Amino acid sequence: MKVLYEDNHIIIINKAAGEIVQGDKTGDASLCDILKQYLKEKYNKPGNVFVGLPHRLDRPVSGVVVFAKTSKALERLNEMFRTGAVKKIYWAITKDTPQPTEGTLSHWIVRNEKMNKSFAHNKEVKEGKHAILDYRTLRCSQNYTLVEVELKTGRHHQIRCQLSAIGCPIKGDLKYGAKRSNPDGSISLHARKVEFVHPVSKAQISIEAPVPADRLWQSFEE
């Protein structure tokens, strides 16, 4: 577990692909559990340790996750994420280059719970939630493209679904149209950066997560 930032109210982690943020039916240890144990040992805390989660990342995704260490911070962060007061920047590696190379994507996304998959529609549909993101192409290699995404809304599998909808599925993301999986089961989507006003101190927070230790990721970060 890599800590990127910590103070009395919040702690920010660089999540590895494959780690789960919150407990699920697999029964695998979650980042929430690991973090509670870390705080308990670091500060010699008796009893239960409070860790609140104002947002999530999918299991195969890496990058920045913000946790709250106090209920006051959690309540305020929940509201900040809900209202879009937190700037969220992602990096995605795609096989194809988006056309145009930068722009805004606007879809209505419908989530299928049974399939654990979202479907993008160009027009408003029943049960659809409006999904908006800005994207720009950062770099191209011989076979892949690095795309930067700024999320404007927070929908289920939003980036995965919307990039797939324009013919640019994320590398390794079989669920959304990638031709082959990544060897480690990850998808090449990384929560690169968060920026927000601290919920308690009101200081400006800007945290960037280094990319995974993978040759392709590293070549794009250089």
What is the pLDDT at residue 26? 76
Positions annotated as catalytic residues are: 58
What is the pLDDT at residue 154? 92
What is the pLDDT at residue 112? 96
Left, alpha or beta for 47 (phi > 0: left; psi -120 to 50: alpha)?
A: left
Regions of the chain where pLDDT drops below 50: none
Q: Where are the domains of the chain?
A: 2-221
Distances (CA, A) of 45 to 48, 70, 152: 8, 14, 38
Answer CATH for 2-221 from 3.30.70.270, 3.40.50.970, 3.30.2350.10, 3.30.300.30: 3.30.2350.10
Left, alpha or beta for 69 (phi > 0: left; psi -120 to 50: alpha)?
A: alpha
What is the pLDDT at residue 27? 78
What is the pLDDT at residue 93? 98
For the record, the structure tokens of 183 come out as 């060897």
What is the pLDDT at residue 28? 86
Asked if 112 contacts 119 with a C-beta cutoff of 8 angstroms, the reply is yes
- Residue 6's beta-bridge partner residues? 11
What is the pLDDT at residue 43? 92
